[in-house]
Amino acid sequence: MKVDGQHYRTIWIDPEDPQTVCLIDQRQLPFHFSIEKVHSVPQMATAIRDMHVRGAGLIGAAAGYGIYLAAVSGSDLNQAAHVLIETRPTAVNLSWAVGRQLDAVKLRESADLIQITRETADIIANEDAAHCCQIGKHGVALIKALAQVKKGPVNILTHCNAGWLAFVDYGSATAPIYAAHDLGIPLHVWVDETRPRNQGAYLTAWELREHGVPHTLICDNTGGHLMQHGMVDLVITGTDRTSRSGDVANKIGTYLKALAAKDNNVPFYVALPSSSFDWNIRNGLKEIPIEMRNEREVKYIRGFSDGEIKEVLIADGRSSAANYAFDVTPARLITGLITERGICQANEESILQLYPEQRQNKL
Ligand code: MRU
């Protein structure tokens, strides 16, 4: 997508120094647009753990490039894989990408390690962008259909950031939005701020503004009220891991939006590339690990003041805080899944119709 008119992806190999991986440092947005240069596995692990990069697809791509950096420095790839997988537990794209790298190395044992891992990291990143682009092509039909039966813009609510910053390009939840906007379909996006890290406020709103998409930032608790008053036509979120039966783990607070959507007959869609399916689990609530993050993220808030990014305490520092980073929305609350292969219902049979090769994995 474009930043100040220039096309960027979220991660790429430095064309001037192929031993370096460049990434957009998301901790600085929306206040500064800055590129970080990563040279080693420990640096990449820190970038993922401390959320310089985040979002399911992007941390998968970052882990892929992390394995490439391990090969460049002659480090043990299995050890690097372990370090990278340990950084964040919920998004399945991370272990999926690392597994793909290790499989590629095993398959082509005699080939040059640096070359294989570089090729595979690029394939993972390119595929991520291509799949998100396809999600846009399929998902746009939903927005088009709503636009045909209503006067005025289609109002879409989204939670957290499942935008291009969370992937390599286009985003998952935002791909249909960008596609519809580019076709001239009138739409407007309600952006949940998404406490505690405020990915909606800092990242989604920034992305949408850069692309010229009309949007309004709202506090996390606002969505239910808007739905009760007919001000939301469609909810689209992303996911960090979806079970083969269609249970969806996504940023904390997604479940409450799905409940409110159900109560108000608002269609609730989840957009995901196949790399976010966990084919090895069925019961999302029991089987998806939920990341617990530092309580500091709840008690402090980041903002911009006197030309600097600062953190301020927003609670009694002596109180303890709990920071559950994700929740699971059961499949029964989800109207459909928008994937790179098309739209399906959130149930195992419908998902497997799109991904028949996964039928052989019987669990
Ligand atoms: O903790 P994050 O920012 O890495 O969480 C990921 C998310 O932004 C959301 O859960 C998103 O909706 C799914 S990732 C495409």
Indicate which CATH number applies to the domain containing 286: 3.40.50.10470
CA-199 nearest atom, ligand 1: 3
Q: What's phi and psi for 243, nearest 5 deg?
A: -75, 165
Which of 54, 170, 220, 237 maximizes ligand 1 atoms within 8 Å of its Cβ, making it the mutation to test the pocket? 54
| Ligand 1 center–CA 74 separation, angstroms | 32
Residues 40 and 162 in one domain: no
Residues 180 and 297 in one domain: yes
253 lines ligand 1 (CB under 6 A): no
| Ligand 1 center–CA 43 separation, angstroms | 21
Rg over alpha carbons for the chain, rounded to the nearest Å, is 20
Which tokens is 117 given?
Answer: 């891992």
Residues 91 and 222 in one domain: no
| Ligand 1 center–CA 159 separation, angstroms | 9
| 100 close to 67: Cβ distance less than 8 angstroms | no
| Ligand 1 center–CA 346 separation, angstroms | 19
Residues 200 and 337 in one domain: yes
Q: List Cβ neighbours of 308 (8 Å cut-off, separation of 6 or more).
A: none
User: 30-60 burial, b if ≥16 CB within 10 A, otherwise e?
Assistant: beeeeebebebbeebbebbbebbbbbbbbbb
Residues 152 and 121 in one domain: no
Which of 29, 157, 251, 324 maximizes ligand 1 atoms within 8 Å of its Cβ, making it the mutation to test the pocket? 251
Last residue of a domain, one of 105, 127, 149: 127
| 154 close to 185: Cβ distance less than 8 angstroms | yes
Residues 173 and 259 in one domain: yes
CATH assignment at residue 99:
1.20.120.420
Instruction: Identify residue 277 by its one-letter amino acid code.
Output: F
Q: Is 132 a domain residue?
A: no
240 lines ligand 1 (CB under 6 A): yes
Count of beta carbons in the 10 Å neighbourhood of residue 293: 18
Which of 165, 199, 248, 256 maximizes ligand 1 atoms within 8 Å of its Cβ, making it the mutation to test the pocket? 199
Find the distance separating the first CA and the last CA of the chain, reported in whole Å. 38
CA-272 nearest atom, ligand 1: 15
Residues 74 and 181 in one domain: no
Question: For this structure, is 240 an active site residue?
Answer: yes
Per-residue pLDDT of the chain (363 residues; tens, 9 = 90+): 889 889 999 999 999 999 999 999 999 999 999 999 999 999 999 999 999 999 999 999 999 999 999 999 999 999 999 999 999 999 999 999 999 999 999 998 777 999 999 999 999 999 999 999 999 999 999 999 999 999 999 999 999 999 999 999 999 999 999 999 999 999 999 999 999 999 999 999 999 999 999 999 999 999 999 999 999 999 999 999 999 999 999 999 999 999 999 999 999 999 999 999 999 999 999 999 999 999 999 999 999 999 999 999 999 999 999 999 999 999 999 999 999 999 999 999 999 999 999 998 866
The pLDDT score that the predictor gives to residue 108 is 82
DSSP summary character for residue 288: S
Last residue of a domain, one of 71, 106, 127: 127
Residues 101 and 168 in one domain: no
| Ligand 1 center–CA 108 separation, angstroms | 33
The pLDDT score that the predictor gives to residue 312 is 98
Find, among 289, 292, 279, the residue nearest to 362 by Cα: 279
Which tokens is 86 given?
Answer: 């340990």
Residues 280 and 149 in one domain: yes
134 lines ligand 1 (CB under 6 A): no
**Residue with CA at minimum distance from ligand 1 atom 7:** 55
Residues 92 and 160 in one domain: no
- Domain span at residue 60 reads 2-127
Count of beta carbons in the 10 Å neighbourhood of residue 244: 22
The total number of structural domains in the chain stands at: 2
Find, among 174, 59, 80, the residue nearest to 125 by Cα: 59
| Ligand 1 center–CA 90 separation, angstroms | 10
CA pair distance 315, 311, nearest whole angstrom: 12
238 lines ligand 1 (CB under 6 A): yes
Residues 111 and 160 in one domain: no
Q: Is 133 a domain residue?
A: no
The pLDDT score that the predictor gives to residue 249 is 98
Which tokens is 67 given?
Answer: 């394995």
87 lines ligand 1 (CB under 6 A): no
Supply the pTM of this predicted model: 0.97
Residues 331 and 254 in one domain: yes
Question: 192, 233, 240, 278: which one is catalytic?
Answer: 240
